[in-house]
């Protein structure tokens, strides 16, 4: 879980409208408590009213907002902490961050944007390795949801993982079908495609 705090947001009015749409649909009870959120936002120098941006910043997991072409248009402070310097580049795409179509990754043959557009539900989590500036990497669990309206975009939720964790290191089962095998000749043995 990431600590709360305000980081620099790289967003425009379209991204702010999308954040408001997603948060209003996902957490109407939290958004209805504007009286508690607005004074805190005013103390931090934000214009009034800004309840959606404040809630977006204080979410316990990293959130990335991308446009319909996969370009990152918004990120909360937890996403900045999880992805580090990677978010500082201009014209950044989700494929650059997550290793879409990069050999040796769970998304070697796919783009997470295309997979998310293909379904109406959020994708199951996959674990990706994010390289750091010093050569060390961090592991991040990612799930994605395509939002067709009001403006087509994608929301990515990020949460910290453990670098050495073997679970879902290979291509996730929901991309390639079930891979559970049971061998009963001699000793009973189970094998699965998820490590």
Tell me the residue length of the chain: 195
Domain boundaries, the chain: 13-165
| Nearest one of 157, 161, 163 to 61, comparing CA atoms | 157
13-165 has which fold? Beta-Lactamase (3.30.450)
- Which secondary-structure segment (H or E) carries 148? none
**Distant-in-sequence, close-in-space partners of 87: CB < 8 Å, separation ≥ 6:** 10, 72, 75, 79, 80, 97
Residue 115: what pLDDT? 81
Report residues of the chain scoring pLDDT below 70. Answer: 1-53, 90-91, 104-106, 131-137, 150, 163-181, 183, 190-195
């Amino acid at each position: 879980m990431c600590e709360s705090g305000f980081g620099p947001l790289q967003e425009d009015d379209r991204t702010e409208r999308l954040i408001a749409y997603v948060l209003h649909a996902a957490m109407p009870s939290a958004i209805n408590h504007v009286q508690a959120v607005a004074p805190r936002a005013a103390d931090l120098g934000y214009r009034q009213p800004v309840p959606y941006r404040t809630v977006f910043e204080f979410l316990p997991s990293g959130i990335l907002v991308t446009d319909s072409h996969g370009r990152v248009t918004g990120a909360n402070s937890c996403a900045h902490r999880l992805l580090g310097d990677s978010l500082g580049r201009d014209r950044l795409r989700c494929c650059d961050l997550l290793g879409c179509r990069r050999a040796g990754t769970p998304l070697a043959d796919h783009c997470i944007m295309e997979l998310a557009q293909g379904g109406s539900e959020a994708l199951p989590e996959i674990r990706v390795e994010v390289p750091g500036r010093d050569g060390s990497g961090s592991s991040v669990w990612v799930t994605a949801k395509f939002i067709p309206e009001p403006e087509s975009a994608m929301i990515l939720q990020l949460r910290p993982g453990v670098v050495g964790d073997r679970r879902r290191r290979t291509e996730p089962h929901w991309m390639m079908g079930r891979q559970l095998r049971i061998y009963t000749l001699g000793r009973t043995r189970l094998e699965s495609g998820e490590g």
